Chain A
Amino acid sequence: MDALIVIFLSGLLALFAAFAKKPALVLATASAGLIAAIALFCCQLHSGHSFIRQYEGLDFNNSFPLVFGVVVSVFALLIISVGYERFREEPEHTGEYIGLLMFSLVGAVIMTAFTDMFMFFLGLEILSIPIYVMAGSRKGDLRSNEASLKYFLTGAFATGILLFGIAWVYGATGSFNLEEITAAIASGDPKNSMLLIGILLIMSSFIFKVGAAPFHFWSPDVYDGAPYAVTGFMASVVKMAAFGAFLKIFSTCFGTPELMSFWGPALAVLTVITMFVGNLSALRQTRVKRMLAYSSITHVGYTLLVLLSGSATAEADLWFYMTSYGFSIIALITVGIVVNDPEDKIEGLKGLARRNPFVALVMFVAVLSLAGIPPTAGFFGKYMVFSNAWTNYSWLVILALVNSAISIYYYLRLIGVAVSKEETPGEKISLRPLTAIVLGICLVAMLGLGFVSNCLFSLLS
């Protein structure tokens, strides 16, 4: 709870700091706030100590929101640091950009800590609304405007569906509180059709939020149109928060075997569609961000396996998978920002190994991690998810493995362009220290996370 307040206040301060028209001050305020928040999360995780323990509808007294909170804060810190390279080009707006991202992060933290549907809805809106704005932050760019509008309209629609679903569940159980809902489901009729309709509606809005098929059409356009840093934020922070909430609601409230046999098969079918749609569409993309958007749809498909697995370690699996995915995607986003190709073509990465070997190395490892090749973190994440889903959905795991093999094609294309040596190199790329640090952190995380997963998991239990 302390950390949440710190994030909010530092976001607010960042807005005021913007009056000084000094972008560096804004960045410093926000980073200080984020680092403090990370420290507070870690402190509470370690010793359980916290100044404000209780707040209506929010519960930080277990490790789940804390570990998610740490990771989303780290992601936000990294993204703000690299996004700063673009933000400071418009000194009069830097404060808004960074402030909005901080507010969105507040929503993300709430999304993993809520204990009732009302707080969950608030968190979702706090998370989404700043992103609607941020997606359109390049005002002169038509595609950025399109992204913003598309995201807002479809997002608002999905929110409506979510509210409708919550209302049905309320009708069936008589409560917004997760515990009371769980109790009501346990004591009541599990085949109550009001409840089932509610579950389906909530599930569809989640499917929309995480960008799974068949509600994925917004995501390539939005990812493509939004500025790089915002795309990175959506792919890491927003996705992680949405999945955290998804798992929380569906494993605590709707996780009984009877209900799971109801929504499980439906979600399994969606998972298959999601994986194939994402992969097959990514094969033919020529723009980096669009390709990443489709590949992220595929990753959503893999992640949905966690929800289906019903395994005891689902939370840890999800957390680890999203963390490793987040670091890889942030690394790639950083590469995109550094290369700064206005066309954003894959061909624009040509000769990256000559222009800056370090950037090429980080990109290489990031792509390997996305593809799930050992010894990167992506492999360990995939392995955890797949092996835990095997008992219930072995056929789905086989399909996911087939998809991993398909995805190699476009990942290799990316590597082949960036790493090959004979292409005519462009001018050298020099890194700003901050960007270099972010790339270094991502590199270490991608290579090291798998090997320390044991210690990480002990945090969650």
Chain B
Amino acid sequence: MELLLLIIPVFFALSVLVIPQNFVRIYSLLGGIASLVLTIVIGMNYQAASGYHSIVSQEWLPNLGLTFNLGYDGISILMLSLTSGLIPIILLSNYSRELASNRTFSSMLFLMQFGLIGVFIAMDGILFYIFWEVTLIPIYLICLWFGAPERKAALMKFFIYTFFGSLFMLASLIALKAYGAKSFGITDLYAVELTAKSACWMLGGFFLAFAVKIPLFPFHTWQPDTYSKAPMAGTMLLSGIMLKMALYGMIRWMIPLFPEALACWTTPVIILGTIGILYGAILAIKQNDMKRLFAFASLSHVGLIASGIMTFDQDTLAGSMVQMINHGLVAVGLFLAADIFERRLGTRNLSDLGGIAKQAPKFAFWFAALAFASVSVPFTSGFIGEFLLIKGLYNYDWIIGVVAGTTLILGAVYTFRAYQLSMYGPVTTNAFADLSWSELLAFALIMIVIVVLGVCPQIVVGFVEPSIKNLIETVQSPTTLVP
């Protein structure tokens, strides 16, 4: 049954192409919900304590060392829920626009979902790489077909950057095989014994791929351009889900594969992440374009998550999981807000906006709620996530912890600056239609999940705890064959 996770998106990606124009958007929404329901069912049946659960495990192309290994544990299920949960929200936020009725758009969205789900359940190195690259194609086409007019250069940069990074991951995988892995199955890869030096190099290959995708400072230069030139749905996919692939990759692949190299990589990555926190936040404060502002804010937030992951201890990892979910939801919400401005007024520059709260009270309310979620006030999921992450970093080194803690202050500065400049002040426009029902629903769903997770984070933490424990054991004793 779990294979349906992959089959449903493919089915909808193909079938939506032949659906009559009028039904496309409702059909796609159904497709999104179908995946979501399936994911929830799987999540319900999953016994958190049982750890790893295999879906398929068989020979595929033995001459290449490939196995067809799919499986999941708590971490994967969490990422699957994020993917399957955000896809309907993305469809919903586009619902009152013509894009939602576009067959190729829906098709590409489902193809994207297919790739993402594959990434989260692939338990074979090359299979992971294949799904990882497969996601590039639909996102490229979505941005190419539906993006802003000057998108081509930005897209080129994005594609070359990410492709370049992932090729080094491929090189590391090839090298790992040459070091005597029986196959690319994850247990075989975990079992390879490496010297610290070679492990350092190979971890570097994975790190390049993930650092570009996350993106970490200084590999982030593609990000603001691509985010601002992509269509709303593309930006949501990129920031909401795609960058979680890389964070997930760090947890599942990069660190457990090369625990020998953790010692020499932890500090540099944490420092880069921390620089990213400050750098992203400071640039976000100065931005005028709202989408760019949120892009830099995203850079700041994921810097924190990546740093936290590198400490690789129980609580911090749990915090990073919560924060990944939180960031996905908040990013989608904020980019929806930015796009609402752009749709209604034709601009998203803060200098041209003002006084919208009076004309659109519903929008003002939900945007404010999201802004609070974004700065991690208590009772939102961000609070739990950031608290655990900062605590972990503080335990690692108090200076890092203090610097990372500034994210809370700086975050408030740029978020509320954007909110104030756009919502209050002199009225610059006179006609601003309030939220449509679909947009309202999207905002409400996002906020409900954020608040629920903020009130009882135990849902997530309890879910992933045994899986995280497994991973940490794997890292501490590389011979344990637990994926």
- Point out residues on A near B: beta carbons under 8 Å: 313, 316, 368, 373-375, 379-380, 383-384, 386-387, 390-391, 394, 397-398, 401-402, 404-405, 408-409, 412-413, 416, 419-421, 451, 453-454, 457
Contact = CB atoms under 8 A, between A and B. Distances in A.
A416 B64 contact: no
Given A368-B137, A416-B144, A380 B64 contact: yes
B40 interface: no
Contact of B174 (A374, A387, A412, A454): A387
B115 to A, nearest CB: 10
Nearest to A404: B167
A387 B159 contact: no
Given A387-B177, A391-B178, A409 B156 contact: yes
Q: In this complex, which of B65, B167, B168 has the most chain A Cβ atoms within 10 angstroms of its Cβ?
A: B167
Interface stretch (B92-100, B125-133, B284-292): B125-133
Nearest to A417: B152
Interface in B236-292: none
Interface string B157-177: 001100110011011001101
Contacts of B167: 401-402, 404-405
Interface string B192-228: 0000000000000000000000000000000000000
Interface in B146-162: 152, 155-156, 159-160
B134 interface: yes
A409 to B, nearest CB: 6
A402 B130 CA distance: 18
Contact of B63 (A391, A419, A451, A457): A457
B136 interface: yes
A224 to B, nearest CB: 25
21 contacts: A373-B137, A373-B163, A374-B134, A375-B130, A375-B134, A383-B64, A383-B174, A387-B177, A387-B178, A391-B178, A405-B163, A408-B159, A408-B164, A409-B156, A409-B160, A413-B156, A421-B145, A453-B63, A453-B64, A454-B60, A454-B63
A397 B171 contact: yes
Given A373-B136, A374-B130, 15 more contacts: A383-B170, A383-B174, A386-B171, A387-B174, A387-B178, A390-B175, A391-B178, A401-B167, A405-B163, A408-B163, A420-B145, A453-B63, A453-B64, A454-B60, A454-B61
A408 B160 contact: yes
Contacts of A416: 144, 152, 155-156
A111 B7 CA distance: 45
B141 interface: yes
Contacts of B126: 383
A404 B64 CA distance: 20
B258 to A, nearest CB: 17
B62 interface: yes
Contacts of A394: 175, 178
B132 to A, nearest CB: 8
Contacts of A316: 63
Contacts of A386: 170-171, 174
- Interface of A (DSSP majority class): helix
Contacts, number: 81
B144 A419 contact: yes
Contacts of A451: 61
Nearest to B156: A412
Nearest to A380: B64
B164 A405 contact: yes
Contacts of A375: 130, 134
Contacts of A374: 129-130, 133-134
Contacts of B64: 380, 383-384, 387, 453
A204 B133 CA distance: 38
Given A374-B129, A387-B178, A416-B152, A401 B134 contact: no
Contact of B159 (A390, A412, A419): A412
A409 B159 CA distance: 9
A390 B62 CA distance: 18
Nearest to B159: A412
B179 to A, nearest CB: 10
B93 to A, nearest CB: 22
Interface in B93-146: 126, 129-130, 133-134, 136-137, 141, 144-145
B63 A373 contact: no
**5 A-B pairs with the lowest CB-CB distances in the bound complex, closest first:** A374-B130, A405-B164, A401-B167, A387-B174, A374-B133
Given A383-B170, A401-B171, A408-B160, A390 B133 contact: no
Contacts of A368: 137
B11 to A, nearest CB: 17
Nearest to A353: B145
Given A384-B64, A405-B163, A419 B171 contact: no
A360 B472 CA distance: 48
Contacts of A412: 155-156, 159-160
A313 B160 contact: no
Contact of B168 (A387, A401, A409, A457): A401
Nearest to B145: A421
B395 to A, nearest CB: 37
A313 B130 contact: no
Nearest to A413: B156
B144 A420 contact: yes
Contacts of B178: 387, 390-391, 394
Contacts of B170: 383, 386, 401
A128 to B, nearest CB: 34
B452 to A, nearest CB: 37
Contacts of A384: 64
Nearest to A421: B145
Contacts of A402: 164, 167
Contacts of B137: 368, 373
B174 A390 contact: yes
B140 to A, nearest CB: 8
Most chain B CB atoms below 10 A, which of A316, A387, A416: A387
A398 B171 contact: yes
B58 to A, nearest CB: 12
Interface in B183-197: none
Indicate the member of A380, A401, A402, A457 with the most B CB atoms within 10 Å. Answer: A401
B133 A419 contact: no
A368 B60 CA distance: 23
B308 to A, nearest CB: 30
A451 B60 CA distance: 8
B222 to A, nearest CB: 13
A175 B136 CA distance: 55
B7 to A, nearest CB: 16
A313 B65 CA distance: 13
Most buried by B among A374, A375, A394: A374
A380 B170 CA distance: 12
Nearest to A403: B167
Contacts of B145: 420-421
Contact of B160 (A387, A405, A420): A405
A313 to B, nearest CB: 7
Interface in B316-331: none
Contacts of B171: 386, 397-398, 401
A390 to B, nearest CB: 5
B205 to A, nearest CB: 9
A405 B160 CA distance: 6
Nearest to A405: B164
A397 B175 CA distance: 10
Q: Which of B129, B137, B177 has the most CB of A within 10 A?
A: B137
A398 B133 CA distance: 19
A397 B156 CA distance: 24
Nearest to B160: A408
Nearest to A382: B170
Contacts of A408: 159-160, 163-164
Which of A375, A380, A390, A408 has the largest number of chain B CB atoms within 10 A? A408
Contacts of A420: 144-145, 152
